[in-house]
């Protein structure tokens, strides 16, 4: 139902070239001062688009977002924090 998307961070030399990046994907954010843009593309097309972006003369660096590869299932995280709270409380009470 939903297509898998991945973010690409493109560093460029001048903000003028930002319009040319729109044909590669959906521009989400662009920083004028730091001269980079975040582009979202389909995950199947990432390798081809990165190669095309690296060939452009105004692009200095291309970084991929690791968000699709990060596990976002946080089962058991609440129990772990409660265990840490109890452990820290024991340290404070013992005077260490």
What is the domain class of 5-70 according to CATH? alpha beta
Contact of 40 with 29, CB cutoff 8 Å: no
Considering the entire predicted model, what is its pTM?
0.71
Nearest CA to 25 out of 45, 3, 1 is that of 45
Per-residue pLDDT band for 3 (boundaries 50, 70, 90) equals confident
Mean pLDDT of 18-32: 92
pLDDT tens profile 42-87: 999 999 999 999 999 999 999 998 877 777 776 655 566 666 666 6
Rounded Cα gap, residues 77 and 92, in angstroms: 23
* Tokens standing for residue 77: 């995280």
Q: Where are the domains of the chain?
A: 5-70
């Amino acid at each position: 139902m939903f297509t898998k998307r991945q973010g690409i961070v493109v560093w460029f030399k001048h903000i003028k070239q930002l319009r040319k990046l729109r044909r590669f994907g959906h521009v989400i954010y662009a920083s004028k001062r730091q001269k980079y843009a975040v582009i979202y593309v389909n995950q199947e097309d990432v390798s081809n688009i990165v190669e095309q972006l690296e060939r452009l003369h105004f692009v200095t660096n291309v970084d991929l977002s690791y968000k699709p590869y990060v596990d976002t299932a946080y089962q058991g995280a609440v129990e772990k924090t409660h265990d840490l709270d109890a452990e820290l409380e024991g340290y404070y009470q013992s005077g260490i």
